[in-house]
Structures are given as C-alpha cells and as structure tokens.
Amino acid sequence: MGDAIQSSDIFKTDAYVNGKWQPSRTRFDVTNPATGEILAAVADLSRDDVKVAIDAAAAALPNWSKRTAKQRGDILRAWADLMLAESDRLAQLLTLEMGKPLAEAKTEIAYGASFIHWFAEEARRVYGDIIPGHQVDKRILVLKQPIGVAASITPWNFPNAMIARKVAPALAAGCTFVARPSELTPLSALAMAELGARAGIPAGVFNVVTSLDAAGVGKEFCENPIVRKLSFTGSTRVGQILMAQAAPQIKKLSLELGGNAPFIVFDDADIDAAVDGTIIAKFRNAGQTCVCANRIYAQSGIYDEYVAKLTARVAQLRVGEGLGEGVEIGPMITDAALKKVRQHLDDAVEKGATVTTGGKPAAQGGLFFQPTVLSGATAEMRLAAEETFGPVAPVFRFDTEEEVIAMANDTEFGLASYFYARDMARIIRVMEALESGMVGINTGLISTAEAPFGGIKSSGLGREGSRYGIDEYLEMKYACLSI
C-alpha cells in the first residue's frame, strides 16, 4: 500500500514555494513510526529559502486580498472538495508518516476539510460596523482588513488538520501564508499544497517550507517584519520562545499549547457513557492530542465500578500498525515520546499506583505501548502535573465537588476539560468553575469547525474555528469621519 502512495501524484518531497516545487541541496528523512522504514527524503530549506517564501507571500498579497470574499471562498471550497475526494490516499499518507489508525486519519482529513469549508463561508461574513458619532458631524466606521502575510508552525499529531485550521481562516480573510509543518510529518502538508494548486490557489498564496531547522525558521517568522502574524501549535516551552522572539515587533500571535485535561466522573454520571467518553478523550491518537484527558477523577461512590469497566474496555483495544484492519492504537511518534510514557508510568507505580491493564511495551515492539489504566493515582505523581501524551489513563479518587474542582484547576494549563454528571445544577456549577477554554460535558469529543478551539492560562492565546477564528487574521480599523 505504501509503494502505491509513493508513486502517486500527491506524494511530494520538495518544498512548495511561490507555486513551484522547490528542491534543496540537503534533504531529511521522514520515517514511518510503526516500522522505522524511511518513507521519503524531503527538501531541507535554509532560513534564506524561507525568506524567499515570505517574499513570495508578500508579492501575492495585493492580488489575493483584493479579490472578493466569494472568489476566495470558491477556491477554498474547491480545495476542501478535492481533499475529500482524495481522502483515502491522504489518509494513507498521513497514517504512514504519523502512525495513527487509518480510520482516525480519514476522520482527520474530513475534519481538516471541514475547517476549509467553514472558512470558505465565513470569508463572506467579515462585517464591519457603522457607529453613531459622538458629535453631530461625526460618523464612526469600523472595518476589518487582512493582517497581511501570516505564518504557521505546526506539530506532528495532526499533520493535516493543524495546518487546515490555520491556513483556511488566513486565506479566507485575504492573507497569504507560509506554513512550516513538523519535520516528522511534512508529507501531508505537501499533499495539501498540491491539491491547493489544483483548486486554483494562486502562486505565493500558500507556501509550505519544509525544514529541519525549526528554531531558525521560527526566528525568521518572528524577526522578519513582512510576517505580521504567527500561529503556532505545539508545546508551551516552544510557545514561550516564540512569544519572547515576537516581542520586539509586537507581532500578533496565536498559540495553541500544551494541556493537562481533567476528566471528571461524578457519582450521578452514566458510567457506561463515561467509559465511552474516556476511550475517545484518552485513547484517540494513542493519547497524543493536546485535548487528551490526562487526569481522570472518579468520585468515591462509582470509583470501583468505573475503573473495572474502563479496564475491561481498554484491555480490548487493538494495538498495531495504523494501516492494519480494525487497529485502534498505533505507535508512539518517537523514542522520546515512548520514554516519557514509561517514565510517567514507572514514577506512578513507584508512588503507589496499580496497573489494572497494560503497563508494558506492546507485543509489536518498536514504538508500540500497551493501552494502560492505573488506579490509585495521586497528585504527587508526575502524570498529575505533566502531559503524558500517551495511552496511559490514571484514575484519581475524589469525594466532593469542591475538592475535585480544586484538583482539576490545580495546573498551569487550561485547554480542555471534561466531566460526566446528570444533575443540572451541578452541570452548570462545574462548567462555570473549570478553568479551561473548552469543556466537554457528557462527551469526550469536542473539536469541530463550528466551535472556538483554544486555551487559557499557559495553554495559549487565540481561538481556531467558529466565527471568531477569522478574527485572528484580521485587523480592526476605526475611521472617524467628519461630515
């Protein structure tokens, strides 16, 4: 199956700059995390090459931003339609370079395309205001204009959708764009560029700069005054670096950073539904999403029942290569990721947690790890404070609502949180008290193009998706008109 993809016309290994495929003197390998097999040698652009891409985006800006919103939207729609038409091959490519199960890869392609469709429509709804004047001869006009050239840095865990969520609102707003995909998963981004070209995105409007030099490209995006906006998804550590680097130019940033999501199951919850929700919120992408449940809190009255039911379900999850039939848990992305999972697990067991299922490297070896449930988790364990980013579900016990809210909020992060309960007054109290940008109530899956995705506290700045998402790529201008 891999060979067929490698000879297909969406398999691109050069960078995409100013409407052309750009080779480079040096290249870097992209490997399949399930097998260690090298999939491609991709162009490794230098910081100077990235400058050229930024210049191309600047040159393309006047024409693109002056088109009507409908013209831009039509191209975006055609792009998303092509992605859906090619979703089988895009999903295979994504699974090969990233490892997630093919079914999840297909869902990601549909999810990415849904943002492009959404912002194709939102392009036409960038409304301004006319405000009654403060003096009889004054009228106050508010207009929204594209911010200019925008850039993105994205991680490996959603190689398609993380880019789609950023480029779609940018292009809809009239911005042009330079994307730097993760060095671990550039092939999905390059395939998107190919389909974008087919859909009619003009040269220079969407550029993909593949490079091993993440820090150098990050500096260029921050220091080059042509770039007016940088949107980053990744760790809080790198988000802090970028924010500091962007400070001298007061550059606009969107930051979607780490999370440490609590998942709370109250005594009055539907336990079976809560177990279903946990499987999605914890084990999707083998636990490698920023909104993954990291700390599961179960109330004393249902603790044993919940742990038993969760354990039974998790024990049945099928581990394997993402392209395999019925596989639910793929490999970890890298050795470092696997090592962190093992360290968190060992630390928890040392401090008194009990493994109820899993807990070991999976039979497949390599980067595969068994989906794991831990009972008896406590606040002293590393996994209470840090994102594990793997298939380990630690269950903490709590007695009262006040206690669990305090525990849930006892973190520098505030991206997603989840809880299961039936009592309506409790649902409202807890929804309001949780310190996070997003709350899933009786559901473990909250991401959708219609809703504002983003975090508070150290989880970031700005929102992606919804009618608010396009504002990240617009500047508001107020004009005072004297008549």
**Within 10 A of 362 (CB to CB), how many other CB atoms are there?**
17
Considering 97, 104, 183, 256, which one is annotated as catalytic? 256
- With tokens 């960038």, the residue in question is 126
- Which residue lies nearer to ligand ADP by CB, 1 or 215? 215
What minimum distance in Å lies between the beta carbon of 218 and ligand ADP? 3
What minimum distance in Å lies between the beta carbon of 33 and ligand ADP? 13
Record the tokens describing residue 44, joined without a space.
């490794």
- What does the H/E/C string look like for 80-139? HHHHHHCHHHHHHHHHHHHCCCHHHHHHHHHHHHHHHHHHHHHHHHCCCEEEECCCCCEE
- Which residue lies nearer to ligand ADP by CB, 90 or 153? 153
Which DSSP symbol is given to 317?
Answer: P
What minimum distance in Å lies between the beta carbon of 182 and ligand ADP? 4
Buried b (16+ CB within 10 A) or exposed e, 137-170: eeeeeeebebbbbbbbbbbbbbbbbbbbbbbbbb
- Which residue lies nearer to ligand ADP by CB, 46 or 235? 235
- Which residue lies nearer to ligand ADP by CB, 50 or 82? 50
What minimum distance in Å lies between the beta carbon of 175 and ligand ADP? 20
- For residues 260 and 295, is the Cβ–Cβ distance under 8 A? yes
Residue 265, SS3 per DSSP: strand
- For residues 100 and 284, is the Cβ–Cβ distance under 8 A? no
Helix (H) or strand (E) holding 308: helix 300-315
- Which residue lies nearer to ligand ADP by CB, 167 or 238? 238
Residue 52: burial class (beta carbons within 10 Å; 0-12, 13-18, 19+): middle
What minimum distance in Å lies between the beta carbon of 235 and ligand ADP? 3
What minimum distance in Å lies between the beta carbon of 30 and ligand ADP? 13
Look at the alpha carbons of 437, 441, 446, 448 in this order and tell me if their dihedral is positive or negative.
Answer: negative
Summarize as ranges the residues that interact with ligand ADP (CB under 6 A): 153-155, 182-183, 214-215, 218, 234-235, 238, 241
Residue 256 a catalytic site member: yes
Helix (H) or strand (E) holding 339: helix 335-350
Beta strands in 173-310, from DSSP E residues, in sequence order: 176-180, 206-208, 227-233, 252-256, 261-265, 293-299
- Which residue lies nearer to ligand ADP by CB, 223 or 268? 223
> Which active-site residues does the annotation give?
256
